[in-house]
A and B are shown apart, each in its own frame.
Chain A
Amino acid sequence: MKILVAVKQVAALDEDFEIRADGKDVEAEFLLRDLNEWDDFSLEEAMRIKEAATSPVEVVVVCVGPESADESIRKCLAKGADRAVRVWDDAIEGSDPIAIAQLIAAVAKRERPDLLFAGVQSSDHSFASTGIAAAALLDWPHAAVLTQLTYTPGARTARFRRELEGGLLHEMEIDCPAVLTIQLGINTPRYASLRAIKQAAAKPIEVLTLADLSVPPGAVGEGGSLSRVRRMYVPERGRAQMIEGSVEEQALQLAAIIREATGGAA
């Protein structure tokens, strides 16, 4: 039994940042990298199945990204993943989530897992597309936004709840192998122990190229994507009227806003 967990190293903007000269992204030096928050939860969900199982379950992490993504992959290994696969080639630069999904699907074909987990979305670009697109390319059943999962290794089906608008839950059953996208809050992700962090350094990260996966370079990057970035820009903000001054002065003004809005009752 094997669970493949797709993870992403996401980027957040530094306090000050500059848009690249071509206007299509932020200069790389202003990006702070980390493991996508959602992926912590999907890895934890895989670990829970592994630890509850009576037969061996292998948890394999797959990540599409350059060598710098190893830092995020090591976090997953420290939390208990058995091994990791990282896919990279310079041609992948500029890929949209669908092009990335092709690579994850190609790794899934090699690994033949019983379940493939992905986060509902990534915290940087929030497409909410990669996992479900990978499912389509594998022609596997799929479900999105899970907040509960019941699966016994070896079972032909899994039961789950997906979380809908307003908190309504939808209980469903899915045929396996399947792709499931995991929502925040499905579990409480663990912290890695110092010992596990040290041990993770010795766990293998297999690096695969496009050629290893028999994916032509034209299938990734801009050419393999379903959208193309024309321009990135900082939107006009400043709708908020900023309240300046010392904390006491700010509090005084906020108190006045509260008193006015609540009719002075408070």
Chain B
Amino acid sequence: MSGVLIIAEQRRGELRPATLELVSAAQGARRAPGDTVAVALIAESPERLVPAVSVPGVDEIVTVQVAAREFDADTLETAVRALIEARKPSLVLVPHSIDAFGYAAALAARNRYGFATDVFRFEYADGALVATRGGYGQKVNIEVDFPGKDVVLLAVRGNVYKPPEGTAAPSVTSFTAPDVSSRVRSLEFIEPAAADDVDMTAAEFILAIGRGIGEEGNVQQFRELADAVGATLGCSRPIADAGWLPKSRQIGQSGKTATACKLYVAMGISGAIQHLAGMKHVSTIVAVNADANASIFGIARYGIVADIFELGDALKEQFQS
């Protein structure tokens, strides 16, 4: 049992960027100098993805040709299990992604691998793997280990590790996985609804509201505030789910990424990890929250503990005089 096996993620013929983050994450998990980092490409045409994972830090690429063109949980579970049995890695990494939500727990449960998800740090301490994840809405950190487990499967949080730069020429081998009769069929992809009037990815100054606004009638106050300070109004998931703002204004994992944003003022947003995925890179984040323990204060540059309505009113006055 040695080496790290990364399961690459692909969608519609393209490598998902989270895969490369795993390559960086794996570097610290080589237990011995001889330990290798291999990337498995499980796809209908895996060889097409080889260039995308030919990066420094990858020792070997393993192509696994499968019948399923798009995500299929049974196909992935069967292929990864066969790879693990043949190659005996001590550590298997997948991204903590929507696709992994669909098969990683099944793979771990059936084969009793050591298992943890949403891991943002891991290392060997005295020969034993220790992984760190969040708890109680990210307010605490939890270190877990995997006593007696020869194989450990970790789903690694996105946007934690920087993908490697440059190219390399790892060896490429192929592997044949058992056939699978799938029980779930891919029909089609549907692009997210077009933006109403706004492109959140282009906004440089976003004022985002979250659950703390309480009710729909309060949206208007923050719409006016955003106008007064010159910000684009964005929101966290609960606001879009409730239909209080269009989905196109949602920032986060399943919404938009605040790509061009330089200033992000989060009001009444506690800081769920899915929201942070869309904005935590912003250089100046100001968090306003009534809860002094809100996890968003952990990533913000400036924090204000206040009632968001009172603070909002007072801020608006600053821009009206």
Contact = CB atoms under 8 A, between A and B. Distances in A.
A13 B293 contact: yes
Given A144-B101, A235-B141, 6 more contacts: A133-B106, A165-B16, A226-B114, A243-B303, A247-B311, A257-B263
Interface string B92-106: 000011110111111
27 contacts: A11-B136, A13-B137, A96-B115, A127-B105, A136-B109, A141-B73, A142-B106, A144-B98, A145-B101, A166-B256, A166-B257, A170-B189, A174-B185, A228-B144, A230-B130, A237-B298, A239-B298, A251-B314, A254-B265, A254-B302, A254-B318, A257-B263, A257-B284, A262-B204, A262-B230, A265-B230, A266-B205
Contacts of A261: 205, 262-263, 284
Interface of B: 11, 16, 70-71, 73-74, 77, 96-99, 101-110, 112-118, 130-131, 134-137, 139-147, 149, 183-192, 204-205, 229-231, 237-238, 240-242, 247, 250, 253-257, 262-263, 265, 273, 284, 286-288, 291-293, 297-307, 310-311, 314-315, 317-319
B108 A226 contact: yes
A116 to B, nearest CB: 13
B315 A101 contact: no
A266 B226 CA distance: 11
A202 interface: no
Contact of A251 (B142, B189, B190, B317): B317
Nearest to B262: A261
A172 B186 contact: yes
A173 B265 CA distance: 41
A247 B307 contact: yes
Contact of B102 (A137, A145, A230): A145
B33 to A, nearest CB: 27
A201 interface: no
Interface in A117-174: 120-121, 123-133, 135-137, 141-145, 159, 161-174
Contact of B297 (A136, A167, A240): A240
Contacts of B237: 184-185
A137 B300 CA distance: 41
A181 B101 contact: yes
Nearest to B298: A237
A213 interface: no
A156 to B, nearest CB: 11
B304 A254 contact: yes
Given A128-B101, A227-B114, A141 B144 contact: no
A65 interface: no
Interface in A85-135: 96-98, 101, 120-121, 123-133, 135
B146 A228 contact: yes
A229 interface: yes
